[in-house]
């Protein structure tokens, strides 16, 4: 792993050294290093690129890190990772992809993650995407993650989906199916700039009594970038669903927020909220009275909004 690849790992997984617990580092379509533990096993798939992560029932307070790095221009890959999370477990899973493209060909990572969450299990999942390269590079950095979540009874899953910098094009697709008593929480943070394009689509099937979902997106669109947020909540039982899109639009950007809420049960309670607007002038003025320039004030507001 060279200096650039180490820096990308720090950006997408907040790792400055080898992590405790299980991990699998994938660099330029090959496994760089791997470790399983007594309770978490990582296996290479035999039929297609990717890994299986098997977490034993009752596993508590353990973590798995599976970052992906691409630093070769022109490299394109599709990876399939399946997570089998045993009953009564409580784990943290940190994924993410970073692309460093310093050439004139596009580099692309498409990752398909499937989570099979057994009864009473709790999962925190963190996924961060990041792109960088040299100023003279014309090759794009493209990431298209697909996430599927299948939650059994009385499970809980918290998802942090983050993309702040450097990704030229992305389509982020998430499907979740919830059984009785399952709880899903999604926090998306997204920023685009220049002519970047980002689309997020969340589809949540609330199939069991007492299931609930809360999908919240915070985004900032700058330059001439384009964003589209699509949220689909389907209430098929006595359930509660809430989705929210709150966006700041700047420069010549364009943002779309498209809600879809569908109930097939009279006991389903579904809510969607969406707001798009510019930074308030009084916010900028207040910060400028404290000694900041107008640009510094805008940056402070954006950074605070995305935290």
Predicted pLDDT at 1: 61
Q: What percent of the chain has pLDDT over 90?
A: 83
Do the beta carbons of residue 141 and residue 133 sit within 8 Å?
yes
Q: Any idea what the Cα angle at residue 128 is, between residues 70 and 101, rounded to 5°?
A: 25
**pTM: predicted TM-score of the whole model, two decimal places:** 0.94
What pLDDT, in 10s, does the model give residues 26-83? 999 999 999 999 999 999 999 999 999 999 999 999 999 999 999 999 999 999 999 9
The helix or strand, by DSSP H or E, that contains position 229, with its residue range, turns out to be strand 226-235
**pLDDT tier at 16 (50, 70, 90 boundaries)?**
low
**pLDDT tier at 135 (50, 70, 90 boundaries)?**
confident
Q: Which tokens sit at 19?
A: 């992590």
- Using CA atoms, how far residue 57 sits from 19, 50, 176, in Å, is 22, 23, 21
Neighbouring CB atoms inside 10 A of 138's CB total: 11
What pLDDT, in 10s, does the model give residues 207-249? 999 999 999 999 999 999 999 999 999 999 999 999 999 999 9
Q: Which of 116, 123, 109 is nearest to 160 (CA)?
A: 123
> Mean pLDDT lowest for which of 8-22, 142-156, 177-191, 260-274?
8-22
Query: Residue 29 has what DSSP assignment?
Result: T
Predicted pLDDT at 164: 81
- Number of helices and strands in the chain (H, E): 3, 21
Measured distance CA(306)–CA(301) in Å, rounded: 9
Measured distance CA(83)–CA(74) in Å, rounded: 29
**pLDDT tier at 18 (50, 70, 90 boundaries)?**
confident
């Amino acid at each position: 792993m060279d200096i650039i690849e180490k820096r990308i790992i720090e950006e997408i997984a907040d790792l400055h050294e080898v992590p405790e617990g299980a991990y699998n580092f994938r660099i330029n379509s090959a496994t760089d290093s791997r470790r399983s533990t007594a309770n978490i096993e990582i296996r290479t798939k035999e039929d297609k690129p990717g890994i299986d992560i098997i977490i034993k029932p009752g596993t508590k307070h353990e973590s798995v890190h599976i970052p992906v790095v691409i630093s070769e221009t022109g490299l394109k890959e599709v990876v399939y990772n399946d997570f089998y999370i045993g009953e009564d477990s409580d784990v943290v899973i940190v994924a993410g992809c970073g692309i460093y493209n310093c050439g004139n060909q596009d580099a692309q990572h498409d990752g398909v993650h499937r989570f099979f969450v057994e009864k009473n299990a709790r999962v925190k999942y963190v996924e961060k995407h990041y792109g960088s390269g040299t100023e003279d590079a014309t090759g794009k950095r493209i990431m298209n993650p697909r996430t599927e979540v299948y939650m059994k009874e009385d499970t809980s899953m918290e998802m942090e989906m983050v993309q702040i910098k450097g990704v030229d094009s992305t389509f982020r697709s998430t499907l979740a199916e919830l059984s009785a008593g399952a709880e899903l929480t999604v926090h998306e943070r997204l920023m685009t700039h220049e002519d970047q394009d980002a689309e997020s689509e969340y589809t949540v099937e609330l199939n069991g009594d007492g299931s609930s979902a809360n999908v919240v997106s915070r985004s900032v669109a700058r330059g001439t970038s384009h964003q589209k947020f699509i949220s689909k909540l389907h209430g098929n039982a006595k359930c509660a669903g809430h989705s929210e899109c709150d966006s700041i639009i700047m420069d010549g950007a364009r943002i779309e927020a498209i809600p879809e809420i569908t109930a097939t049960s009279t006991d389903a309670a579904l809510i969607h909220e969406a707001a798009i607007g510019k930074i308030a002038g009084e916010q900028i003025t207040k910060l400028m009275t404290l000694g900041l320039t107008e640009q510094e004030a805008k940056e402070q507001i954006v950074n605070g909004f995305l935290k």
